[in-house]
Amino acid sequence: MANFKGHALPGSFFLIVGLWWSVKHPLKYFYQKEKSSQLIHHYQRLEIIEAAIRTLFSVIGILAEQFVPDGPHLHLYHEDHWVKLMNWQHSTMYLFFAVSGVVDMLTYLISHVPLGLDRLVMALAAFNEGFLFYYHVHNRPPLDQHIHSLLLYAVFGGALSLSVEVVLRDNIVLELFRTSLLLLQATWFWQIGFVLFPPFGGPEWDQNSHDNIMFVTMCFSWHFLAALCIVAASYSLVYWLHLSPSPTSSLRQPSTTRQELHPAPPLHLCNLAPRFSPPGLGWPPGLIRTRHFPTGRQQRERLTYNQKTALISWFFLTSTQDADPLS
């Protein structure tokens, strides 16, 4: 749709998925060490739900492009001319993302699907989007061509990141980079709609002005910085929630934490009393013969370095006196 709604619709879809990814990937990164079966089951369910929602978004986009009042209504060629090829290009973009969503669901529902196929198909969908937009703006005013060409950096960057993730799966750096590019793509769709089709009756932009082209280029950098800030804020929030202990866990296990902070000494260092005391030799002076030590208490009763040295010397003298010189 060559209007404001036609750009706001995909921008909204990408924005919702991008915000979800900015929370999902840090959550998976911080909790990936807890490989419990229940946690893995919940994660797989979330992946299936996400893939189903992305597929639904794609189907809605196809229906919107085809069945708007001035849409092609599934007619590609009629009376010796093509019918609304721009809508058909948008529908093709949505179609590839729908296929990507279906493959994502099959990856978690069927164990025979090769690992990494979901990332590969998503990379192909992103590449197809960039390929279509590259040939989407020929013979248009300079500002229109430039503002759409800037979108290609985010699209092809995301496709490249997804291609690397086929090999380096679950890499948090690549996932956050891909998320920032998706958010950049989402907000830039909205920016294109505001520049080319002002929704509130504002003045139209001069599409032949070089100053407008320079401003739009600078604005693209601001959008990328905003996307990075959103990803950083989401990562920090998830990290803070991961570190903060829950009230129930702190009330249930106070003794366990205390024992971990003050472990008891090994018992073989506490029960060191000899079976007999040879003449002239008694238990080394100053050595406390305590059978057990309460956890976290009586730290002064532990064996010091001098006590250990006296104990070793005592055993050495005992062994030399017990030895038979005639044997």
pLDDT surpassing 80 at residue 117: yes
Looking at residue 223, what is its pLDDT?
97
- H or E segment and range at residue 314: helix 305-322
Yes or no: say if 154 and 183 are a contact pair by the CB < 8 Å rule.
Answer: no
What is the rounded average pLDDT of the residues 68-76?
88
Looking at residue 105, what is its pLDDT?
94
Yes or no: say if 118 and 103 are a contact pair by the CB < 8 Å rule.
Answer: yes
Side chain identity at residue 203, one-letter code:
P
What is the rounded average pLDDT of the residues 168-192?
95
User: CA torsion 125→128→129→135, rounded to 10°?
Assistant: 180
pLDDT tens digits along 238-281: 999 888 765 444 434 444 444 444 444 444 444 444 444 444 44
pLDDT tens digits along 271-327: 444 444 444 444 444 444 444 444 444 444 455 555 656 666 666 666 655 555 444
Which pTM does this prediction carry?
Answer: 0.73
Three-state SS for 83? coil
Yes or no: say if 301 and 288 are a contact pair by the CB < 8 Å rule.
Answer: yes
